[in-house]
């Protein structure tokens, strides 16, 4: 992948150079959160639904092995070909192998965060296979040569004028036309050609039902269906945590997913794929890529309950003001910040710290993942594993030393306040990140403890 | 009822008036209050930075200072939550458990333990209430806007007992202010932007004073307000609840 060297704080700092744009990004996503609130409130048993979904996922994760085997048996009986991939590289090899076997040089792909996580597109490109992303938002970021910035709204960071320019450059639409309806129609014409030409279609999977071996793919654009129904080969790629035990459980998740994601009662299409049509090949690639490892981490296990609705991103006050790309990983936002360190602690050691631990994410989550508590726990793990700096450790040790010795603490406080009053420039300077855009608190002559000593002590 | 007064370190050093108001208010309501002089910090700055393993000395000190009280009360939801969630000491676990069960943030102590029904306070002013996250979501001081559940707010209930207080509505009733402990300096850009946006919401709706249950959030917003030379003040909720009925606002 395009490994970024800059951390979240640096990338967020850059994002904040254009404040009106930050305002626009924040308000756009807050509007989605508000739509979600309205939809959630239209269901009196909303909290019960969340409890139920969380419990079903708990069961699925607790018995994952059995459910996966059951799913494989059912899917194979239905006529699908099931593949197992231990990691991203194996997943990419399997998909490339299927395509090469059939001489496919060109394929359409509907949204799949798993293939983003595995960096399938660049891998296929390196093997001479062209991928056309057919989700409108994903197509837009693909044309812009950018990764998605949001798992549900991949191009939410782009303004319509910028999309107009991209389409002018790549699809030949008239310069200066940024009318969303016009641009969508142009994209539709462009994508239709791609759908008709493609021999193979890759789709993601929202839910895989162990009981029946079927997969459910949720889209608003019907692009997964267009791809899968027209192509000779359908390859469905899924993380192993997408399993749910029974078909009846779909009723719980489908009610929660779109309401949480975009404030819609349900996605326009909830398509069930069970067996290949005559003459078609249906491949299902079951991918681990660190999920078993995460399942073994008790504190972080239930991060695998995630149904990728993106509600935690829309509600996150940090995400809204730092943008998805600041997380430099396929799944951004609070959920990304607890998933990514499992993939690579060193590369993603910054992410659990990109949070105020406000807890809004945990309460908006439709499957009740304790996201902010896991952020706190990841911080402890990362420091213990050495993914911190020597200066931070030294600073923390000093702070701990001062704060656990009352006399030192009082002397340091008194001295500090005196310095601040006598030489305000010592703290009010460029080296103090607080002071850059905020005034320091006015240091009082006496602390509370000094006041108490004088006025209260009997 | 013996109450141990827990005054977090930054309040002790920078906002003594909040400690004084808390003490006076509790005494006014009939509590026998003591401030153990050996206290420093709850350990949260280290723990939230990933160094919870460096907090054991702070924990032992906290237990030493507060083990003997019926209740421990502090004017900070965040520090109280930290103690409630993380105070442990293998050498004194019984005392640690007692403290975890008996520590209260000031407003929840007033509404849930003292069951205050009215307050002899007057503060004629337009007030914006900032719901600090750790108090709200962690201690349950107020209902969270994400949940489909009946609304309530303990600090708001108390403010409504104060004669003359006019609470202003907000566009975002419980969005984080962006302080976040060390986040405020390690993620300076986002922290400040969050703070600026919170402040705008209050100012836009005509707040003359922004109040809340956590001085850390208020300190952050105050820093922004003062840099902007805005006339809006911040006051901890204890300072408003402790306003004498005969005094003028803002005096």
Given a cut of 80, whether residue A392 has pLDDT beyond it is yes
Instruction: Judge whether A95 and A127 are in contact, CB under 8 Å.
Output: no
Given a cut of 50, whether residue B188 has pLDDT beyond it is yes
Mutation for testing the A interface, residue in B59, B189, B221 having most A CBs under 10 Å: B189
Q: Which phi and psi (to 5°) does residue A82 adopt?
A: -100, 130
Q: How confident is the model at residue B246 (pLDDT cuts 50, 70, 90)?
A: low
Which chain B residues contact residue A397 at CB under 8 A? Answer: 54
What is the C-alpha separation between B84 and B139, in angstroms, rounded? 9
pLDDT of residue A458: 57
Strand duo A214-219 + A269-273: pairing:
antiparallel
According to DSSP, residue B248 is labeled P
Average pLDDT score, chain B: 96
Given a cut of 90, whether residue B123 has pLDDT beyond it is yes
A9 and B186 in contact by Cβ < 8 A?
yes
Closest alpha carbon to B113 in B31, B8, B36 = B31
Cα of A276 vs its chain's centroid, Å: 31
Q: Tokens 């708990």 label which residue? A: A58
Of the listed ranges A261-270, A308-317, A412-421, B141-150, the least confidently predicted one is: A412-421
Buried b (16+ CB within 10 A) or exposed e, B93-127: eebbebbeebbbbbbbbbbebbebeebebbbebbb
Given a cut of 50, whether residue A2 has pLDDT beyond it is no
Mutation for testing the B interface, residue in A9, A37, A317, A362 having most B CBs under 10 Å: A317
Q: Which residues pair with B153 in a beta bridge?
A: B142
pLDDT of residue A64: 98
Given a cut of 50, whether residue B249 has pLDDT beyond it is no
Closest alpha carbon to A404 in B153, B56, B86 = B56
Considering chain B, what percentage of its residues have pLDDT values greater than 90? Answer: 96
pLDDT of residue A456: 81
**Torsion angle in degrees (nearest 10) through CA of A318, A323, A328, A331:** 80
pLDDT of residue A457: 66
B contact residues 51-80, partner A, Cβ 8 Å cutoff: 51-55, 57-58, 60-61
B43 at the A interface (CB within 8 A)?
A: yes
Which chain B residues contact residue A451 at CB under 8 A? Answer: 16, 19-20
What is the C-alpha separation between A406 and A328, in angstroms, rounded? 43
Instruction: Judge whether A92 and A126 are in contact, CB under 8 Å.
Output: no
What is the C-alpha separation between A33 and A400, in angstroms, rounded? 39
Give the H or E element holding residue A68.
Answer: helix A64-77
In this prediction, residues B12-40 reach a mean pLDDT of 96
DSSP B137-185: IIH-SB--TTSSS---BHHHHHHTTSEEEEEPP-SSTT---S-TTTHHH
Find the CB nearest A363 among B35, B134, B146: B146
What is the C-alpha separation between A380 and A378, in angstroms, rounded? 5
pLDDT of residue B50: 97
Given a cut of 80, whether residue B245 has pLDDT beyond it is no
Q: Which domains are assigned to chain A?
A: 43-289 (3.40.50.10420), 298-363+370-384 (no CATH), 390-457 (no CATH)
Find the CB nearest A379 among B7, B50, B146: B50
Helix (H, G, I), strand (E, B) or coil at A286: strand
Mutation for testing the A interface, residue in B148, B195, B217 having most A CBs under 10 Å: B148
Q: Which residue of B has its CA nearest to A393?
A: B51
Average pLDDT score, chain A: 96
pLDDT per position as a tens digit, A125-165: 999 999 999 999 999 999 999 999 999 999 999 999 999 99
Instruction: Judge whether B83 and B100 are in contact, CB under 8 Å.
Output: yes
Give the H or E element holding residue A57.
Answer: helix A46-62
pLDDT of residue A1: 41
Helix (H, G, I), strand (E, B) or coil at B27: helix
Q: What is the tally of helices (H) and strands (E) in chain A? A: 22, 10
Q: How confident is the model at residue B250 (pLDDT cuts 50, 70, 90)?
A: very low
* Shortest Cα–Cα distance, A358 to chain B (Å): 5
What is the C-alpha separation between B216 and B191, in angstroms, rounded? 13
Q: How confident is the model at residue B114 (pLDDT cuts 50, 70, 90)?
A: very high
């Amino acid at each position: 992948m395009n490994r970024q060297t800059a951390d979240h704080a640096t990338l967020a700092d850059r994002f904040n150079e254009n404040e009106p744009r930050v305002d626009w990004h924040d308000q756009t996503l807050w509007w989605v959160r508000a739509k979600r609130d309205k939809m959630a409130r239209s269901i009196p048993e909303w909290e019960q639904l969340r409890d139920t979904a969380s419990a079903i996922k708990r069961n699925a994760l607790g018995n994952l092995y059995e459910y996966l085997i059951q799913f494989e048996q059912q899917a194979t009986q239905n006529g699908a070909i099931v593949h197992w991939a231990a990691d991203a590289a194996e997943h990419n090899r399997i998909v490339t192998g299927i395509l090469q076997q059939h001489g496919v040089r060109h394929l359409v792909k509907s949204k799949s965060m798993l293939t983003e996580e595995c960096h399938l597109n660049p891998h296929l490109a390196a093997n001479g296979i062209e991928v056309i992303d057919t989700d409108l938002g994903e197509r837009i970021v693909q044309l812009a040569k950018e990764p998605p910035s949001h798992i549900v709204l991949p191009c939410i960071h782009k303004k319509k004028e910028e999309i107009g320019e991209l389409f002018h450059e790549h699809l030949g639409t008239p310069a200066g036309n940024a009318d969303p309806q016009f641009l969508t129609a142009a994209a539709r014409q462009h994508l239709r050609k791609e759908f008709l030409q493609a021999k193979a279609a890759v789709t993601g999977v929202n839910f895989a039902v162990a009981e029946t071996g079927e997969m459910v793919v949720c889209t608003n654009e019907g692009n997964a269906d267009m791809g899968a129904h027209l192509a000779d080969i359908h390859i469905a790629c899924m993380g192993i945590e997408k399993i749910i035990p029974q078909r009846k459980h779909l009723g719980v998740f489908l009610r929660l997913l779109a309401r949480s994601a975009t404030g819609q009662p349900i996605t326009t299409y909830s398509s069930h794929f069970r067996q290949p049509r005559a003459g078609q090949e249906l491949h299902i690639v079951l991918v681990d890529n660190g999920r078993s490892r995460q399942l073994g981490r008790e504190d972080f296990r239930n991060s695998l309950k995630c149904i990728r609705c993106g509600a935690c991103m829309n509600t996150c006050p940090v995400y809204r003001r730092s943008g998805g790309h600041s997380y430099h990983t396929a799944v951004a936002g609070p959920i990304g910040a607890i998933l990514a360190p499992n993939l690579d602690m060193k590369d993603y050691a910054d992410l659990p710290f990109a949070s105020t631990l406000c807890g809004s994410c945990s309460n908006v989550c439709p499957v009740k993942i304790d996201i902010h508590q896991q952020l706190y726990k990841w911080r402890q793990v990362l420091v213990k594993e050495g993914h911190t700096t020597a200066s931070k450790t030294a600073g923390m040790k000093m702070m701990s030393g001062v704060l656990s010795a009352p006399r030192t603490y009082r002397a340091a406080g008194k001295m500090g306040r005196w310095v601040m009053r006598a030489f305000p420039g010592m703290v009010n300077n460029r080296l103090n990140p607080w002071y850059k855009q905020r005034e320091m608190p006015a240091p009082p002559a006496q602390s509370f403890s000094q006041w108490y000593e004088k006025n209260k002590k009997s | 009822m013996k109450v141990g007064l827990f005054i977090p370190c930054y309040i002790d050093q920078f906002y003594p008036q909040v400690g004084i108001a808390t003490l006076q208010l509790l005494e006014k309501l009939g509590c026998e209050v003591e401030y153990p002089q050996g206290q420093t910090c709850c350990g949260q700055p280290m723990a939230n930075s990933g160094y919870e393993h460096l907090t054991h000395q702070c924990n032992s000190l906290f237990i030493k200072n507060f083990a003997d009280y019926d209740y421990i009360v502090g004017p900070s939801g965040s520090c109280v939550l930290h103690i409630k969630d993380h105070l442990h000491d293998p050498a004194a676990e019984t005392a640690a458990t007692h403290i975890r069960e008996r520590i209260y943030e000031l407003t929840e102590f007033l509404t849930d333990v003292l069951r205050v029904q009215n307050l002899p306070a007057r503060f004629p002013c337009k007030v914006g209430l900032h719901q600090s996250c750790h108090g709200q979501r962690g201690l349950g001081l107020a209902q969270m806007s994400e949940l489909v559940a009946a609304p309530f707010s303990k600090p708001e209930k108390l403010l409504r007992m104060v004669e003359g207080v006019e609470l202003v509505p907000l566009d975002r009733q419980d969005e984080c202010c962006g302080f976040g402990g060390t986040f405020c300096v390690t993620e300076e850009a986002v922290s400040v932007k969050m703070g600026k946006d919170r402040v705008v919401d209050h100012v836009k709706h005509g707040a003359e004073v922004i109040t809340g249950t956590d001085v850390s959030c208020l300190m952050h917003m105050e820093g922004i307000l003062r840099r902007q030379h805005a006339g809006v003040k911040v006051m901890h909720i204890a300072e408003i609840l402790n306003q004498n009925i005969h005094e003028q606002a803002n005096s």
